Amino acid sequence: MTDAVLNLSDVAFGWAGGAAFSLRVADFRVAKGESVLLLGESGSGKSTLLSLICGTIVPDSGRIEIAGQDITELSASKRDKFRAEQIGVIFQQFNLLPFGTVADNIMLPLRFAPARNKQAGDALAKATELCCALGLPDGVTNSKATALSVGQQQRVAVARALIGQPPLIIADEPTSALDANSQAAFLELLFAQVRSNETSLLMVSHDPRLGARFDRVIDMQDIARVERGAA
């Protein structure tokens, strides 16, 4: 696969201690503009893999390249800055600032990402544009995030991930709390924005019914080897 936004090769990571756990990924790639659904049950290593990709933990060996940069070569502070610039994350629990407005929440990543901030241009105007595209009501940018419905908060979380057009969006079980109709509506909006921004999407889920919308569906057990046992 050429033009990969994300490329993991020979990655190994282990948690030590009484609940020892190790994860190995020989090869995993996501191309520019590609949407990939990564399926796995609880305990399959999905959370550890996402933490490795985001650089919040580092592998014991191997390479993790994002937009051509091997993040294992970066210091912790440089990984944090790189993540802010290159990755938009949609968290399962949204992680919105409870006392901030919708605009505050959407524009938050731009504080830590100068290049992404420059790409966004007029940040407030872009935040407003994303809210409109995601079906949020007029004037919502001035509302407190906690005053919104769960579905609306979810769309704010999507807008926060998309602003400034990072090359990779990671979505961690974003539809787990939604019914089938709400899932379909949410995914329709998400995919429209991902296509518009030419962004790569890696979504993690345990629900194979979502697969029809994605370019590729991959099971964790097909790319990763997990081992457990006392260290």
Q: Where are the domains of the chain?
A: 33-59+69-219
| Residue 1 pLDDT greater than 50, yes or no | no
Give residue 18's pLDDT: 57
As assigned by CATH, the class of the 33-59+69-219 domain is alpha beta
**Residue 217 bridge partners (DSSP):** 37
Name the token pair of 219.
């099971």
70: phi then psi, degrees, rounded to nearest 5: -80, 105
53, 134 Cβ separation under 8 angstroms: no
Most confident of the ranges 2-6, 83-87, 120-124, 180-184 = 83-87
Average pLDDT, whole number, for the chain?
90
